[in-house]
Amino acid sequence: MSAVISKSASTSGIETNSGLSAGHTFQVSLLEQILRPMQAGQRLRVLDLGEPHGATVDFFSGHPVRLAIASALPDLVRLDKELDDADLEQCLETLLPASLAEGSQVVLAWDAFNYLTTPVLTALMSRLATLLPRGALMHALLAYGVRDVPERPGALVIDSWQTLRTLPTGNMATRQSPGYATGQLQRMMPDFRVIRSTLLQGGVQEFLIRR
């Protein structure tokens, strides 16, 4: 693996989501499909939208990977949905500069979709559309059929080809899940297509999205 690049940027009757709460381990059947070329020795450029975590860095170590860590999720969550399109575009160019993200073949979005308003999510996908080559793949998780999610995006790490783990955070607060349906997501990212999704344990839907 080449050197890690880290950019610090500034319903009633439905249960609270447990799959994305701290301390859980769950199987992800689509992650391995995205990373399969790496198993065959093909070099991949991977963009991690989250924070740097030792377990994920260790997972990629020893493989032919250029891992770029954007540390963008906290700032994305704080973006004001009332910003106009031009201001959102400028913010996304700062959070995801071409020097960091351009040419990435795989994007790890983690649980970002649970925390972004429609304008911000649309702006994010528009920015990625300018940076990613055709055929690039994104892996994302979305709360499904649950009322609440943890208050902030989880600290998720890769333990194995098919296993993700949420790290303890000490924060038990929750917020309402946006409850995006697949059709809604598709309309927010016209330059991308959801090609597969699967429902995991704990009310988590896993998505495989292609540029």
pLDDT at position 127 over 50: yes
Q: Taking the domains of the chain in order of start, what are their residue ranges? A: 7-210
CB atoms within 10 A of CB 92: 23
- Written as one string, the DSSP assignment of 22-54 is TT-EEE-TTHHHHHHHHHTT--EEEEE-S---H
CA distance 51 to 155: 8
In Å, how far are 9, 38, 60, 162 from 45, measured between CA atoms?
A: 21, 10, 11, 19
Say what the pLDDT of residue 81 is. 72
pLDDT per residue as tens digits for the range 135-180: 999 999 998 877 788 877 778 999 999 999 988 766 677 888 888 8
16 pLDDT more than 70: no
Confidence bin at 21 (pLDDT 50/70/90): low
Tokens at residue 101, please? 């993200």
Identify the CATH class of 7-210. Answer: alpha beta
Amino acid in the structure at residue 159: D
- Model confidence pLDDT, tens digit, residues 52-62: 999 999 999 98
pLDDT digits (tens, 9 = 90+) for 183-210: 999 999 999 999 999 998 778 899 999 9
Residue 11: its pLDDT value, please? 33
Cα radius of gyration rounded to whole Å, the chain: 16
